[in-house]
Chains A and B, each alone.
Chain A
Amino acid sequence: MMLYFLCLILFCVGLYGVLRKRNLVKMIIGLGIMEYAMNLFFVLLGYRFDGRAPIYAKDQEILNMVDPLPQALVLTSIVIGLGVTALVISIAVRIYEKYGTFDITKIKRLKG
């Protein structure tokens, strides 16, 4: 239970970074932390303590095995996260070229 709770805290740290930070780069880092937290959470859901990998072997009896599906899904999710992060960083770099700053309070040519 403790692990899930820590996971929640990590998620909240990320969300705080995205919502409250004024620097674009810090916002992106917050996004990254949030993604790690949710991936960690999904892996934790499939984890069994003292479990083993679910590989079938004739002479071994599987008593307690880790659920492999979340691990496969999280791999996909990590790749998606990589794609989003790469795109957002490249946009942030272009924004810096145009505005000369990373501060979102100074980047507001749109009326909002």
Chain B
Amino acid sequence: MNNTTIIPLFVIIPLAAAFLISLVGKFIRRSSETIIFISSLVLLVFSLYARFLLNSSAGKIMIYKIGGWAPPFGICMVLDGLSCFMLITVNLIAFFVAVYSLSYMEQYTDKPKFFTLFSLMVCGMNGLIITGDLFNLFVFLEIASIASYALVAFGTEAEELEASFKYAIMGSVASAFIFIGIAFLYSFTSTLNMADMARVLSNKQNEWVIPFVGVLFLMGFGLKSALVPFHAWLPDAHPSAPASISAMLSGVLIKTLGIYSLIRIFFNIIGPTQGYLTVLMFLGAISMIVGVVLALSQWDLKRLLAYHSISQIGYVVLGIGLGTPLGVLGGLFHLFNHSVFKSLLFLNSGAVDYATGTRDLKETGGLGKLMPVTAKTNLVASMSIAGIPPFNGFFSKAIIIIACLEKGNFGYAICAVIGSILTLASFMKVQKFAFLGEIKDKFKNIKEAPFAMLFSMVCLAIICIFGGLMLIPSLRFFLDDAVAVILKGTGYASVVLEAAAK
């Protein structure tokens, strides 16, 4: 058995789980819960094991050729530092969200269907991360998107359906732009393999095709990742979904579908030019400020969190758009941190919703006494997102700000600091109105959330507290390998093609 056979398992396991759940979930009691728990645990273990295998492999890259056809003719799956980083992030969050859903989804009627869609979403994201073929990327992107449209509408209440319809229309328009971009790149390079495409593009000069394709991809993936001019669907879609799905959508889906694909295409295929980087930095800075300003005036807890997602994605894009080693490191580290604390915040909002039946901050209050664990984990997550030391959010934001200063972009550094202060302000509001103060009479008898929900929340809070340790030298390879892949730019082509030729 070859080491590389682990790579397709990241697609096969969730796909098989989705199939099995839809087949037997209705007939055997608790089977859907068992299958989803085992499959997500196995995925998490495998993604950590893949990181271990990657360390021992030559050139820190592993390639699986589907059907034994060597690229550029066959489809290949590539596992490098960046893919591995994203895989661990996605599967870590997916595992905790799956455990949380075991209890949380009791209030909905059809658990097997929920877990089927959930598995399909994970399958789409994992596939998108490991594929080395541009059209495959599009197919996996659509699998994840369709599953998430359906999951947003899962409650089938009026608001949820409305949000889902809006999300589906915007998402389909985004996919159309991405598809046309892929069509243009194919007609220009006559290949679909990402590495081969990068090789052809670096040997071929054309004044208008590449910028045109760049704009199409920026629109498409910008819509998927909700950067500010394209953000209108996110504050509706993310709060409408069940809390565990909001955590997946805000935590990993917008990053995988948006940011990861954007990085792969702009840095590794087209090759970064100063123009793209300036656009990315600009969009990042606007998202950062607009998102947080809109969040300040929200009274719906989940809507507030959704606006913060826009703002925090801005930090990630700003960091990556800087293009310096420190900036990219900060951006990726913030990506990881944001997926941890934003999923934790959404899970907390779900726990509040589960206990009280409302998520309007004007109605809640004093829940800290009755729900001590939720209040404490929410405090940890709020401090992380606001960037208070020693929580993980502080380190990534500090790195991004230092990288801005290092490159001489003082304006962006000031934007980042202002964004951070406003974030702190709005999370003080959440703490005050949800957990501190006097308890209302009608909530006198509420109980703390069940064990499975608390388990996920506490584990994620622990990751928030100790996340900063990832920067110490012996653990930094996790981030450094991902940064190295991005900074290598179109050198990605020769690395993949050489590794595939072996």
- Residue numbers of A with Cβ under 8 A of B are 11, 15, 18, 24, 27, 31, 34-35, 38, 41-42, 45, 69-70, 73, 76-77, 80, 83-84, 87-88, 91-92, 94-95, 98-99, 107-112
Q: Which residues of A contact B139 (CB under 8 A)?
A: 76, 80
Roughly how many angstroms separate A15 CA and B169 CA in the complex, as a whole number? Answer: 11
B113-164 residues with Cβ-Cβ distance < 8 A to A are 135, 138-139, 142, 146, 149-150, 153, 156-159, 161-164
Residues of A within 8 A of B157 (CB): 98
Residue in B closest to A41 when the chains form the complex, CB atoms: B183
A81 to chain B, nearest CB (A): 8
Contacts of B425 in A (CB 8 A): none
**Which residues from B are CB-within-8-Å of A94?**
153, 156, 161
Nearest B residue (CB) for A108: B162
A38 touching B179, Cβ below 8 Å: yes
Query: B477 at interface (Cβ–Cβ under 8 A)?
Result: no
A10 to chain B, nearest CB (A): 12
CB distance from B216 to the nearest CB of A (A): 11
Q: Is B236 an interface residue (CB 8 A)?
A: yes
Within the assembled complex, what's the spacing in Å between the Cα atoms of A92 and B153? 11
- Least CB distance from B473 to A in Å reads 45
Determine if A34 and B159 form an interchain contact, defined as CB atoms under 8 angstroms apart: no
Within the complex, the shortest CB–CB distance from B153 to chain A, in Å, comes to: 6
Q: A-facing mask of B185-201, CB < 8 A → 1, else 0?
A: 01100001000000000
Query: Which residues of B line the A interface, CB within 8 A?
Result: 135, 138-139, 142, 146, 149-150, 153, 156-159, 161-166, 168-169, 172-173, 175-176, 179-180, 183, 186-187, 192, 232, 236, 240, 303
- CB of A109 within 8 A of CB of B162, answer yes
Query: How many whole Å from B172's CB to the nearest CB in chain A?
Result: 5
Q: Are B146 and A112 in contact (CB under 8 A)?
A: no
User: Other than the known A45-B187, A91-B153, what 20 A-B pairs have Cβ atoms closer than 8 Å?
Assistant: A11-B176, A15-B173, A18-B173, A34-B173, A41-B180, A42-B179, A42-B186, A76-B135, A77-B138, A77-B179, A80-B146, A84-B149, A84-B175, A87-B149, A88-B149, A94-B153, A95-B161, A99-B158, A107-B162, A109-B158
Q: Which residue of A lies closest to B168 (CB)?
A: A88
Q: Which residues of A contact B240 (CB under 8 A)?
A: 110
Contact between A38 and B183 (Cβ–Cβ < 8 Å)?
yes
A95/B173 in contact, CB under 8 A:
no
Beta-carbon contact of B183 and A18 below 8 Å = no
- Residues of A within 8 Å of B169, CB to CB, are 18, 27, 31, 88
Q: How far is the CB of B370 from chain A (nearest CB, A)?
A: 29
The answer to whether B179 and A110 have CB atoms under 8 Å apart is no
Q: Which of B150, B158, B162 contacts A87 (CB 8 A)?
A: B150
Q: A80-B139, A99-B158 are in contact. Are A91 and B173 (CB under 8 A)?
A: no
Q: Which residue of B lies closest to A92 (CB)?
A: B165
